[in-house]
Structure 1
Amino acid sequence: MRCTLGVDIGTSSSKGVLVAEDGTIIASATRAHDVARPHAGWVEMDGRIWWDEFVQIARELLDGHQDAEVVAVGVSGMGPCVLLADENDEPVRPAILYGVDSRSTTQITRLTDELGQDEITRIGGSVLTSQAGGAKIVWVADEDPDSYARARRLFMPASWLARRLTGAYVLDHQSASQTSPFYDIENECWYEPWWQQYAATIEQPALAWAGDIAGTVTAAASELTGIPLGTPVIVGTIDAWTEAVSVGAHGVGDLMLMYGTTMFLIATGEDTLRTPSMWTTAGAFAGTRNLAGGLAASGALTAWLKDLTDADYPQLLAEAAESGPGARGLVMLPYFAGERTPIQDPDARGVIAGLTLRHGRGDLYRAALEATALGVRHNVETMRAAGADIRRIVAVGGGTQGRLWLQIVSDATGLVQEVPETTIGASYGAAFLAASAIAADDVKPQIEHWNPVADTITPDPSAKAAYDALFDRYLRLYDGTRGVVHELAAEQRTH
């Protein structure tokens, strides 16, 4: 049975799928892991975990399905991350994760002062934020010089897997465009003056597109994983973009909403749109550009409440549904891990306003779901103000399993959401890219055949007025509490 293997390295787990030629999922496997938070604002992980879990997942899937003939491998992973390795491909320090890690604030300020915000935006598309991979590289040079002195190569999860599988040292354009300020978005290449100024001792990875073939599985990788020698492996890209592929939400006018540990949004177009509030990136495919955004905490926030209240998700969802729109007079800011877009404030913190002794855990859970929905609305309105033409919304990710959350997002934003049949996410998209990479042009798989729309979530008109009022309070609550919250964030950094 011919199939493709797709593996994605996520924030809280690695997931793999074996997928038949018609898109049917034959089997899946997962390995849970934790991130490390050694200091306030730091989020990192031992990059060696990524390969170890890939090997475990590949072995589990192939050993359990001896009739599976893997004809191509897809890879994907969270990002933009910064994993620096030496000349022997040994990590010199833990990988620094994407925008949830806010340690590089000083470097962002320095780079912006030295290079100029307008010039940074002209070359790379975006202002520097906690999402900027280049600023994280400079942080290592400044704050961990011993490790930086040994560093010779730059990896992200997908490129790390491709390296270990094939020996290729390659990074996709989409990921590279988030290594700000080292990528020239209009010319789709590394920007040599700034790379040489700030990262000259790091070898530049070759650049390719996500669905290109990086190389083939080596003898050493085949022995470890069980994948046949010579099997093609794609370059891969960042998980949110691979998730967009998995549901066909990467065409011009599409917006993908990814419901996961964090919430991510990707609007696709042909033009390079620039706004200081969002991230401008290259697309997953040649000829496309993205305006992207992300909440720093969404699923992580609901998981925190679940653990805090010692209740299970069905209980909390039932109680949240009973609470109703507005959570009986509560409004929450979901900035429990700082916030990414559109406020770009790593020192933002969570706020719950309106609490009384009458409120219960269902009200709090409802307020958390509404907070993420209002964060989505804030991002969508900012994207549209920047010129994004959003015609179609597709929801993906683990959070789509709970219809209440989807309904609240549609009600709060006024958006119709399409939910595909398969929402397993980036690993499925990676398997699709792998299948496409080896297929002839006249027989390439079509994602609408692999993964048709299964449900459509329509806004409830009767909830519009309540959520319009709540959104206004949401915006004013951040403005009104920002000063105190920033003082508390500064104090937290001392503990």
Structure 2
Amino acid sequence: MEKRYVIGIDFGTESGRVVIADVEQGGELASHATLYRHGTIVEKLPGSGKALGQDWALQHPDDYREVLKQSVREVLRISGVRPEQVIGIGVDFTSCTILPVDAKGQPLCVQERYRNEPHAYVKLWKHHAAQEEANRINEWAKESGETFLARYGGKSSSEWMVAKVWQVLNEAPEIYQAAYRFVEAGDWIVQQLTGNWVRSNCSAGYKAFWHKQDGYPPRQFFKQLDPRLEDLTDTKLAGDVLPLGTRAGELSAEAAQLTGLCPGTAVAVATIDAHAGVAGSGAVRSGQMVMAMGTSLCLLVLSHNEVSVEGVSGVVEDGMITGLYGYEAGQPAVGDLFGWYCDQAVPGYVQEAAAKEGVSVHTWLEQRAAELKPGQHGLMAVDWWNGNRSVLEDADLSGLIVGLTLQTKPPEIYRALLESTAFGTRKIMEAFEEAGVHVNEIFACGGLPKRNRLFMQIYADVTGREIKIAAAAETTALGAAIHGAVAAGTERGGYPDLAAAAIQMAKVREETFRPIPENVAVYDDLYRQYIRLHDVFGRGGLVMKELKRIKRKLSNHSE
């Protein structure tokens, strides 16, 4: 029998990457990335230059189509695989990343009438300007006695679907009315590939309050929240919600021409990028946790049980692997935090020294930070440069470093920032354990585990756990390809379910990171100090919120 292949398309924050994988052997045969030409739009709209408000983060959907046009063809060329050998396509996407579209699926922002309207564009996952709406959702859910928020740690996020859609309604009602639907970008890509309107149970469950048995919250809840939202789920969020691994449709003739693939190729229901890393890491059993480590960090835990966990971003039945409850928690600034420091805060002599040695600033700092012992720098940081997702779920929190002196050096700050994210992860893991969701085995995937050995050793030492590393260079893209293999089905040479496909196609490295006992002891002491800062500034303090309030006031006044 001729070899069969599947394609995984991974849409990240800065670029989209496509991999092609052998259905039987797994792994990546070839990969190719396309950078988003417009990048992340945070200050002003492209073209018109119209200024955006604070905490905005937009993208342009044309960049996503460029990924389909360029990278799919490139992986075929690089691998030598013929289009007719590809039996399935899977898609993963950052989430909650949403866009308003018309009835044909055309984004409103590409239409001349709406080019200068910020709310017509894609709202990236880290768009936090809907925090006021999120706060009001949380307050009203509590007042009205609604129980659905218990599945999300008791709070919804400004990153999620309803808050973002409500912000559009409040600030640009003409865009709300013009939108046929608001869709997750992953679901939009599937629509562009197949012509079918379907929603992923993964995105709907984690980001839009949908439940396998109960559906969306009742109309009455939305009506009481805002009378204009009464028919939200029947209109703007309409569409069949399908489980992961389901075939959403087949590649249309138009999409086949765009990508260079064959019409009729099976296309899977989309999944969230980090969640694709669960299958891509080979995690298929209760008690396994995957850390998807990139610009942000998602902690994804599989369990047979459904319970309430403080600060969890969601628990969805069949949300990651069929037959298990998938829990999501996370931190919205990890790689982004280290990138901020290297790009914005290191002194010029560090940049010059790194350039002279022919290494990146990251590498230069990592090498010197690795020479320090735990606790030697005398610093403690909290990891809230982009707010806190879990367990506090508060986008208005901000960064903090304690212990700075006139003798503090850049590698010391860099190491403290690495440690802060590990402390934040440990806090989340403890919340799971306290709720009865046990973590027995940890996998790590994403760009960071493969680039920064110090970072991974710190995580092992801070958590006191062995950490296994997914073997795939592009784990989430491989996970998307695994979804494509299931969508193809056994009749086309694929697999019957996600667990069977992941066991066969995903691998882990032989090398693991194990905790060093003497480091663990020091980090246990330091972690207690982290918790003090966490609770003083995160639970009881208003300093960070007041600083943001003053900043907003002055920013609005200057405009």
CA distance in 2, matches of 1:323, 1:117: 50
Inter-CA distance 396–188: structure 2 relative to 1 (3 Å threshold):
farther
Equivalent residue in structure 2 for 1:273, among 287, 295, 307: 307
> Does residue 1:447 correspond to 2:520, yes or no?
no
Tell me the equivalent position of 2:468. Answer: 418
CA distance in 1, matches of 2:382, 2:149: 33
1:262-319, Cα deviation, whole Å (9 max, x unpaired): 0110111122222342122312244322221111100011112222333422211111
> Does residue 1:82 correspond to 2:98, yes or no?
yes
CA distance in 2, matches of 1:453, 1:30: 23
How far does residue 45 in structure 1 lie from its aligned partner after superposition?
1.4
Equivalent residue in structure 1 for 2:337, among 292, 298, 301: 301
> Which 10-residue stretch deviates more, 333-342 or 127-136?
127-136
CA distance in 1, matches of 2:468, 2:416: 24
Contact 2:101 / 2:182 at 8 angstroms: preserved in 1? Answer: yes
CA distance in 2, matches of 1:335, 1:138: 25
How far does residue 447 in structure 1 lie from its aligned partner after superposition?
2.9
5+ unaligned residues in a row in structure 1: which ranges? none
> What letter corresponds to residue 29 of structure 1 in structure 2?
H
Tell me the equivalent position of 1:12. Answer: 14
CA distance in 2, matches of 1:61, 1:186: 36
1:432-454, Cα deviation, whole Å (9 max, x unpaired): 12123324299736434433221
> Does residue 1:464 correspond to 2:500, yes or no?
no
Contact 2:105 / 2:188 at 8 angstroms: preserved in 1? Answer: no
Contact 2:105 / 2:192 at 8 angstroms: preserved in 1? Answer: no
Contact 1:80 / 1:133 at 8 angstroms: preserved in 2? Answer: yes
CA distance in 2, matches of 1:84, 1:423: 33
Inter-CA distance 156–443: structure 2 relative to 1 (3 Å threshold):
closer
CA distance in 2, matches of 1:276, 1:101: 23
**TM-score normalized with structure 2 length:** 0.83
> Does residue 1:189 correspond to 2:205, yes or no?
no
Equivalent residue in structure 2 for 1:484, among 543, 547, 553: 543
> Which 10-residue stretch deviates more, 13-22 or 369-378?
13-22
How far does residue 63 in structure 1 lie from its aligned partner after superposition?
3.6
Equivalent residue in structure 1 for 2:67, among 29, 53, 58: 53
1:329-352, Cα deviation, whole Å (9 max, x unpaired): 011111111111111121111111
> Does residue 1:31 correspond to 2:34, yes or no?
yes
> Does residue 1:357 correspond to 2:406, yes or no?
yes
CA distance in 2, matches of 1:347, 1:123: 20
How well do the aligned residues superpose, as a CA RMSD in angstroms?
2.2
> Does residue 1:73 correspond to 2:128, yes or no?
no
Tell me the equivalent position of 1:175. Answer: 203
CA distance in 1, matches of 2:461, 2:214: 39
> What letter corresponds to residue 122 of structure 2 in structure 1?
A
CA distance in 2, matches of 1:138, 1:187: 25
Inter-CA distance 253–117: structure 2 relative to 1 (3 Å threshold):
farther
Contact 1:151 / 1:201 at 8 angstroms: preserved in 2? Answer: no
> Does residue 1:145 correspond to 2:173, yes or no?
yes
Tell me the equivalent position of 2:266. Answer: 232
Contact 1:40 / 1:492 at 8 angstroms: preserved in 2? Answer: no
How far does residue 141 in structure 1 lie from its aligned partner after superposition?
1.1
Q: Give percent identity, aligned residues only.
A: 27
1:41-92, Cα deviation, whole Å (9 max, x unpaired): 2222123322222222112222444443222111110102221211121223
Tell me the equivalent position of 1:247. Answer: 281
**TM-score normalized with structure 1 length:** 0.93
Tell me the equivalent position of 1:134. Answer: 162
Secondary structure of the 2:408 match is coil
When Rg is computed on C-alpha atoms for both structures, the one with the higher figure is 2
> Does residue 1:334 correspond to 2:383, yes or no?
yes
Inter-CA distance 277–124: structure 2 relative to 1 (3 Å threshold):
closer
CA distance in 2, matches of 1:118, 1:315: 54
How far does residue 138 in structure 1 lie from its aligned partner after superposition?
1.3
1:385-404, Cα deviation, whole Å (9 max, x unpaired): 12212111111110111221
Contact 2:485 / 2:501 at 8 angstroms: preserved in 1? Answer: no
Tell me the equivalent position of 1:407. Answer: 457
Inter-CA distance 331–428: structure 2 relative to 1 (3 Å threshold):
same
Tell me the equivalent position of 2:47. Answer: none
Tell me the equivalent position of 2:445. Answer: 396
How far does residue 488 in structure 1 lie from its aligned partner after superposition?
1.4
